[in-house]
Structures are given as C-alpha cells and as structure tokens.
Amino acid sequence: MEIQLVEPLLTQLGYSADDWLRQMPLRMGRGERNYPDYAVEPNPMRGEESASFLIETKYQISTKREIEDAFIQGKSYALRLQARAFMLAAKEGMWLYRQEDGFSAERHLHWTWQDIEHPDRFHELAAELGKGRLTSQRRRARVPRVPTERK
C-alpha cells in the first residue's frame, strides 16, 4: 500500500523522499510510543515533534467500525503533532480531515484512487495537500497581526 500508492502520490503532490518520514517515533503518554505511518514536513526533535500533515495507511477500510477506528488513531496523531490535516489511505481511497474543520469525522473530503487519475480531481487534492500549501498556512497562522493605526 505505502510504496505502491502513497509514496507515488506524495511525489505527484511535489514532495521528495526528504519531505516525509515513515514510522516517525512519537511519545503519546508515559513511555507509550506510537508510529504514524507518514509525517510530511516533519520536525522529529524530541519535545517539539510536529508535521504539516499525516497519512495513516490501512490495507482496507470497508466497514464503519474500521473507518471510525482509523479516524480516532489519525486524529490523535494529528493533534499531538499539531498537524494541519491528516489523511487515511486504504485500497478503497483516501479520506482527508482538516484542522480548520475541527478534524470532524463528518466533515471530510474523499477520493478513490481512480478519482485522482482525473486532472480536476487531482487538482482538488493538490490544492489541499500540495507541497507548500500547508506550510504557508502554518506560517500565516503563526505570524501575529500588528494593528495598524487609523488616521
């Protein structure tokens, strides 16, 4: 799944292998270590771990329970890493959850692997996750606005 589908997708979105980290070690509590499948634009420095977005891969997500379990896992990693988005990827397709939507299970975008072969559908995905899209949003979010004086 990862090497055949996810990594080529990341490359199509403009990322190089240096832009992502597979199985990034992440402490989620006292000594508990977890490993998000892909952390994109990661900062793995201990105590300051972060990523622009995450991809959690599953071979198959075909039941409501499987998507709920994968969603909870992905959201937990995304919150811990202060990610702007996370994606679940399985043979059935991709589900994108965004911080701006509160990582809501009901508010997500979905594409099948066949969908993104169509240029318009791929453009939708690239507009969300293409290289530089989330980084520039993160920078804008961190820059405090200075009030201007009115004359």
CATH number at residue 82: 3.90.1570
Instruction: Please give the average per-residue pLDDT across 91-105, as a whole number.
Output: 93
Dist. CA 102–CA 109, nearest whole Å:
13
Half-sphere exposure of 50 (CA within 13 A, CB side): 8
Q: Which of the residue ranges 22-26, 44-48, 85-89, 135-139 would you say has the lowest mean pLDDT?
A: 135-139
| pLDDT over threshold 50, residue 117 | yes
Dist. CA 50–CA 78, nearest whole Å:
9
pLDDT confidence of 137, banded at 50, 70, 90? very low
Instruction: Please give the average per-residue pLDDT across 42-50, as a whole number.
Output: 85
| pLDDT over threshold 50, residue 139 | no
Beta bridge partners of 93: 90
Residue 104 in any domain: the answer is: yes
Question: What pTM value is reported for the model?
Answer: 0.82
Number of domains the chain is built from: 1
Beta bridge partners of 41: none
- Cα four-point dihedral sign 123, 124, 129, 135: positive
Residue 147 in any domain: the answer is: no
Residue 102 in any domain: the answer is: yes
Dist. CA 22–CA 143, nearest whole Å:
29
- Single-letter residue type at 149: E
pLDDT of 78 reads 93
Residue 150 in any domain: the answer is: no
| pLDDT over threshold 80, residue 45 | yes
Q: What is the dihedral of CA 91, 113, 10, 130, to 10 degrees?
A: -130
pLDDT of 144 reads 41
pLDDT of 151 reads 46
Residue 149 in any domain: the answer is: no
Element holding 89 (H helix, E strand): strand 85-90
pLDDT confidence of 47, banded at 50, 70, 90? confident
- Residue 123: give the domain boundaries: 2-142
Residue 148 in any domain: the answer is: no
Instruction: Please give the average per-residue pLDDT across 55-80, as a whole number.
Output: 93
